């Protein structure tokens, strides 16, 4: 059995109001990363927390409620007082495209993680203001900003996880080819820099179309001689987050209990939620399966229409990406039970890339979980076969682009 891993940090502060000075005691929380995370902004957060003294950050009522939820043994341990923040687990995360709609929200969520000691923010412009804003948040991670191609290498030095939300969303009047050409070029340049400066890092690709940009990234890494299929991920967590949310609402389930594997790809019909594999076990009518599947596949449109063309799903995407970053860091830190759905090089089907549940470990993907694809319903089996031609075409388009660009260069 693997040894337990933990992260400890403390926060203490002093505030003055007129002539009265209030000195808060330190709040010390210990996180056992062997368990699923439960308190990190609704992401998977640590299950074991030790509150050693009252914190002004939490407030009296919140601190009292937290203390009551902890086993008595943890409450009677000797109190400690620290006036600094000192995480035991120190990991560096870089966000490439940090000044964008997804990047800013994602940076805030990652700044809140106790597993992160250093957050590197990169963009071609406007990133200094984002970094200055985040530095005012009293959480452990230090924030550094990097602007433009000349600073990209320094941003990536020694980084453990690289997240790539850089790119543009599809706008009215923009064809799929327009979107592809713009974002493919952006991803290509950024992945080349990753290959040169932190080839051992986990790479999380968010830039759309993910079905094509991940194969592009794989080809670039191969050309650089540093490709490790276990460490390249297309972030499809938003599809899982949406499936869990919609199904919990539809069936009146506790959201924290719901888990739905989503396989295939990350666009339209290539997104296939396996409702028959929902946990807890749930029964759906044929009409509910059709309704929920279509809603999950087209959920982005709900947001685009609600924003009246002024944006797309930036907040929910940032939330989902932060969850995947947290899971990756937990795996790197030694948590033995980390599972997420993600788009990776795969042999579960005849397609070279496929989204499925995987087991994450210190070196990336430890196992592809084939169980979810067994015993599918007739509806799911037909949907799986239907998505393959479209996903195959997207994969081939990405590979062809990367090879063409190499020849041109």
| Cα–Cα distance list, 385 to 136, 236, 352 (Å) | 50, 19, 15
* DSSP annotation string for 227-286: --GGGEEE--HHHHHHHHHHHHHHHT--GGG-B--EEE-SSGGGEEE-GGG-BS-----H
CA-based nearest residue to 190, from 178, 206, 176, 177: 206
| Cα–Cα distance list, 270 to 10, 18, 129, 219, 402 (Å) | 44, 61, 38, 22, 22
Catalytic residue among 84, 120, 204, 266: 266
84 part of the active site:
no
CA-based nearest residue to 399, from 203, 167, 180: 180
Separation between Cα atoms, residue 402 and residue 228, nearest integer Å = 17
Pairing of strands 14-17, 20-23: antiparallel
* Cβ 212 vs Cβ 401: under 8 Å: yes
Separation between Cα atoms, residue 260 and residue 280, nearest integer Å = 9
Q: What is the DSSP letter of 26?
A: P
Q: Which residues are catalytic?
A: 266
């Amino acid at each position: 059995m693997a040894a337990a891993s933990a992260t400890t940090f403390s926060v203490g502060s002093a505030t003055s109001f007129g002539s009265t000075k209030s000195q808060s005691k330190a709040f010390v929380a210990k996180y056992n990363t062997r368990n699923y995370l439960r308190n990190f902004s609704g992401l998977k957060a640590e299950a074991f927390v030790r509150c050693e003294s009252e914190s002004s950050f939490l407030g009296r009522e919140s601190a009292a409620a937290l203390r009551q939820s902890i086993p008595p043994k943890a409450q009677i341990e000797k109190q400690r007082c620290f006036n600094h923040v000192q995480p035991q687990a120190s990991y560096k995360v870089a966000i490439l495209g940090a000044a964008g709609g997804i990047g800013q929200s994602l940076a805030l969520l990652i700044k809140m993680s106790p597993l992160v000691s250093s957050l590197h923010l990169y963009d071609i412009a406007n990133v200094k203001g984002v970094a200055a804003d985040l530095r005012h948040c009293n959480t452990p991670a230090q924030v550094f900003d990097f602007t433009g191609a000349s600073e990209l290498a320094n941003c990536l030095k020694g980084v453990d996880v690289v997240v790539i939300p850089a790119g543009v969303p599809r706008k009215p009047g923009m064809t799929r080819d327009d979107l592809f050409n713009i974002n493919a070029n952006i991803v290509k340049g950024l992945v080349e820099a990753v290959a040169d400066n932190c080839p051992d890092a986990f790479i999380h690709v968010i830039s759309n179309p993910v079905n094509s940009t991940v194969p592009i990234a794989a080809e670039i890494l191969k050309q650089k001689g540093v490709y490790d299929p276990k460490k390249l991920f297309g972030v499809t967590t938003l599809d899982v987050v949406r499936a869990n949310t919609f199904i919990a609402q539809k069936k009146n389930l506790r959201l924290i209990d719901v888990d739905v594997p989503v396989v295939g790809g990350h666009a339209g019909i290539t997104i296939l939620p396996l409702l028959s594999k929902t946990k807890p076990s749930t029964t759906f009518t044929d009409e509910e399966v059709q309704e929920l599947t279509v809603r999950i596949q087209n959920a982005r449109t709900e947001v685009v229409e609600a924003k009246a063309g002024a944006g797309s799903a930036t907040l929910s995407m940032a939330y989902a990406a932060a969850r995947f970053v947290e899971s990756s860091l937990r795996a790197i830190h030694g948590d033995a039970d980390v599972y997420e759905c993600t788009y990776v090089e795969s042999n579960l089907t005849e397609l070279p890339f496929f989204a499925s549940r995987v087991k994450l470990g210190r070196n990336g993907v430890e196992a592809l979980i084939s169980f979810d694809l067994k015993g599918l319903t007739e509806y799911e089996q037909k949907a799986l076969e239907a998505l393959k031609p479209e996903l195959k075409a997207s994969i081939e388009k990405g590979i062809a682009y990367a090879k063409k660009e190499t020849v041109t260069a």
